[in-house]
Every structure is written in structure tokens, then in C-alpha cells.
A and B are shown apart, each in its own frame.
Chain A
Amino acid sequence: MAAIVQAQANKILDATLGTAALTAFSGAAKVRLTTTAPTATAAGTELTGTGYTTGGSTITFSAAASGSTSNSGSAIQWTNSSGGAWSIVGLEIWDSAGTPVRWWYGTFTGQPISVPNGAIFQISAGAITVSLS
């Protein structure tokens, strides 16, 4: 199942075949929540509403080992104070470039996940596993 944005996969191929230098990931990683399913070529519709910060929240990952890594640190939480339920479908990992670049994407098991007003949606440490093989 694809999980890396097609444009970034192309960059990795080019960088590892001598075609072009890699355009590196810039700054902190941000996780964005989406209300539609993202694809390899198109971002999902980002969640909006009080309690969610447009542009995503900072997320950190451990150094990769054996072709895999996962998010580290504390759980990332969003408290829905929008007055209505959130319907969350997917997530995306973006960098912090001046014009942010989307790198990875996926959908949550059992999506769409409904988060009632007043409830907290969280991604626990270690919940997101990213691998390349």
C-alpha cells in the first residue's frame, strides 16, 4: 500500500540513482488531520474547527532502524471545541518549509472517526509506524 507521496518517492529514486540531489525535508515534521482520504498525488481536505490548528501539530520520530520508525515523545491531542462533531479520515506528514511539502499520508483504521464536541482525539506515541523497503 502506498504511503509516500509520489513526488517525494520520485525524489528518493532520483537521489539514489545519481539523477538529482535530494531536496531534504525542511524543519519540524507536522501531522495534519484530514476529513477526506489523501492519495499519493492529492492531499486530503484538512480538518478545520476550534481545537485544531491549521497546518498541523509538531510530531517527532525516532531515528529509523531496520527500515522502520515510529512517532516518539508524548501523545498528540486535539480537543474538539468546534461545537459539532469532527469526522476524521486520514493523516499527512508535512515538513515546515516556507511552502510546506507533503511527504507521507495514510488513513485511520475504522475511519471515518467521529469525535464529538468536547472530546479529545489523540495519536499516542508509537502509534504511527513508517517504513520503507
Chain B
Amino acid sequence: MAPDEPLIIDSGPVTLAATFEHDDEDQEVTEDGSDRPGTGQ
């Protein structure tokens, strides 16, 4: 009789995701660095 095989425990999938987060909508910035006011205001 063959000896028992050792138990193998698999790590399963691992995701290492680094994200440089950003807003979904680009925000306009004026030349002096200030935020541009919205056009409807």
C-alpha cells in the first residue's frame, strides 16, 4: 500500500493591485493653479 500523500494547501489567487486613483471627470485647472469655476455658475 502506497504511503499517504501529504496534504497540499493551495494559497488560491492573490491580487496585488496598486492604483493611482483619479477622479472620473477631469477637472480643469487655470494657469495660476486655481480650479476653474463651473461654466453654469
Decide if A and B are genuine partners. yes
- The size class of the interface chain B forms with chain A is 10 to 19
A74 within 8 A of B: no
Minimum CB–CB distance for B14 against chain A, Å = 5
Of B9, B11, B16, B19, which is within 8 A of A119 by CB?
B9
Of A3, A118, A123, which is within 8 A of B18 by CB?
A3
In chain A, what residue has the closest Cβ to B5?
A120
A121 within 8 A of B: yes
Can you show 10 pairs from A to B with CB atoms below 8 A apart?
A9-B18, A108-B14, A113-B11, A115-B9, A124-B11, A127-B13, A130-B17, A132-B19, A133-B18, A133-B19
- CB within 8 Å of A: which residues of B? 6-20
